[in-house]
Each structure stands twice: as structure tokens, then as C-alpha cells.
Amino acid sequence: MIEELAVVVKIENHQVWVESGQNSACGGCLQKASCTTSAIGSVLKKKSVPVDGDIQLKTGDQVMVAIDENLLLRASLLLYLVPLIALFTGAGMADWLVADNIRYADLWIAGSAVLSFLVSLWIINKAQSLLILSYARPVVVRKV
């Protein structure tokens, strides 16, 4: 589990919203790029994020928020690898189908690659919104 200290900013409809706590030590650290502690912090600093949790909390509480690194890795592979494979597959299929003597054959190949890339992103988005794909969501582990 990747953990990060956060502050509860609001509680609304049994949903807890948190923002990352102050993490001044990470700003000057040389290992910031490869550190897992800084990974969640970089996402949470930008905005309030809804998290799951069964702990009774109130606004202003400091909590430890965690996310499963296996789910995070699978989500990253899905969002980066699948569209890339779709891009190359679309270009390869268009190259196989388009004859060499067709005018603007390279444009058709590039267009097919981009179209297959966008369609793969759309399919991933629809599968996620229909809850077919589970996604990594932070959880409140404990109150600090």
C-alpha cells in the first residue's frame, strides 16, 4: 500500500473529501521522482479527492490515505499499454489493407492509427463508467 498523510476538507453524503497535507520535506528531496510517498501527494495536492472510509471523521482531521499499488499498476497498464497497442494495431491493419498505389496511403495509415487509439480510449472510458473495470481509489486507513 502506498500511504500519504491528508486532511479532511469536507464530508458530504457519507463521502469524505481530502487534500494532501503539508509535505515540505519532499520538495527538496533528490529521490522525489522515484519515491512512492510522493506519488499520491502529487495527485492529492492539486485538488480535493473523494476517498472511501468507515472511520467517523470531521472536517480538519488528519488521516492516513492509502492506495493499493497493484491496482494502481494495473490501471496504469490499462491506460497506457492498451491504447498504444491499439495505435500500432490500427496502423498495421491499415498498412495491410491499403494498396501501395493508392494516393495518400500514408495519410490513411496515420488516420487509422489515430482513430483506433481514440476508440480504445473511448472504450476504456465507457467500461469504467459502467463499472465493468474496477479502478484504484484511495481509502482512509486510520486517523492520525
Q: How far is CA 33 from the centre of its chain?
A: 17
What pLDDT was estimated at residue 133? 58
Return the C-alpha cell found at 26. 519532499
Q: Which amino acid is at 43?
A: V
| pLDDT tens series, the chain, 144 aa | 888 888 888 887 777 888 876 555 666 666 666 666 666 556 555 578 788 777 888 888 888 888 888 877 888 888 899 999 999 999 999 999 887 778 888 899 999 999 999 999 999 888 877 766 566 677 788 888
CATH topology of domain 2-69+136-143: OB fold (Dihydrolipoamide Acetyltransferase, E2P) (2.40.50)
Number of other residues whose CB lies within 10 A of the CB of residue 51: 22
* The model's pTM: 0.59
Identify the pLDDT of residue 107.
92
User: What are the residue ranges of CATH 2.40.50.140 in the chain?
Assistant: 2-69+136-143
What one-character-per-residue DSSP string does 72-141 give? HHHHHHHHHHHHHHHHHHHHHHHHHHS-TTSTTHHHHHHHHHHHHHHHHHHHHHHHHHTTSS-----EEE
